[in-house]
Structure 1
Amino acid sequence: MRSGPLPKIGGKLRELRRRRDLGVRELAARSGISHSTISLIERDKMSPSVDTLGAVLDALGTTLTGFFSDLRSSLPYSPFYTSSDLVEIGKEEAISYRVIGFDHPERQMLVLHERYAPGADSGQEFVHAAQEAGMVLSGSVEVTVGDQKRILKPGDAYYFDSRLPHRFRNVNNGPSEILSAITPPTY
């Protein structure tokens, strides 16, 4: 898996404080965190605990979630992925789910290259709050959605509300592959 640099939070924290026209000592008084600790955090000389950072951000009128989502969106990333960059989240021997764009800082969908061994079955029908679409690239896959069932071959596709019970089963003698997308990425 590719891993980029961890975001440095000090500069962003200092920017928020200055934008609010606060000095370090004033922020310390408002947050209950010592001015020396805030200074060390702003210079990236200290990694704060979640509680410490939360107290400082509360005093600045923002949240941990907002602070980090803004930081993540500014991280550099490549829009291209080699085969070795795809992160495996399945059981490689039966069903392989390789994620495309796993480390994208603002990923809002799950894109998978799925590979099913002969006879592989996703198991009991499952549900999750999303929409799901895919296309069979090779082999033959039996897809069950609610009370409907169909065998899909290369070029055949599906699109359904994932809150309906669904299941995938390779009915081919060899491996079968699907390229799929799920949004939001709840699976």
Structure 2
Amino acid sequence: MTPLIAKLLHGLCMVAWWVIRRPFERKSKRNVLMRDAMDVREKALLAISLTGLGVIPAAYIVSGFPATLDQPFSPLRAALGLAIFVAALALFYATHKALGRNWSVTLAVREEHSLITEGVYRFVRHPMYSAFWMWAIAQALTLQNWVAGPAGIIGFGTLYLFRVGREEALMRETFGAQWDEYALRTPRVVPFARRAQG
């Protein structure tokens, strides 16, 4: 494993993410939105996350900038990062598959929206966020640069911090006691970490 191969494989995983998501984006546009929380705040959070997980690493992969902030390269660390990214992609696909017609890139409730508690949702109530956290960690391991590496954790972490509570409030408003019961027995993003996540 060389820095170039690590960069190219990370870039390939980023393309795979888009390939996985694209068909679900097309299908979701056919579903009627009952409520959409896409506002300036949501757009800003999505832009910050996209910058950290997409724009900055893509620029680094293509140009190498800023090479002066590269870390000493560890092939083992890069391989671990790529393995985590592949696992994140598998979880990402499983989450989209489980959500089906309910999926939306924004905070939204669709016509005939149902609370999904099966599949990967048995283990965590936000497996999509789990997958993005894995991606962000993989990026920090694979792209061994002081800017490109942690950009994903900072970008996605910002979205998560300011969005997850709002999303849970929307779910509680939509599903009431059914959501509360589900949230009590299911951790947010880390399986088997109920007490730590509240």
User: Structure 2 length as normaliser, TM-score?
Assistant: 0.23
What is the TM-score normalised by the length of structure 1? Answer: 0.24
Greater RCO, 1 or 2 (C-alpha within 8 Å, sep 6+)? 2
Greater CA radius of gyration, 1 or 2? 1
Could you say which structure has the higher strand fraction?
1
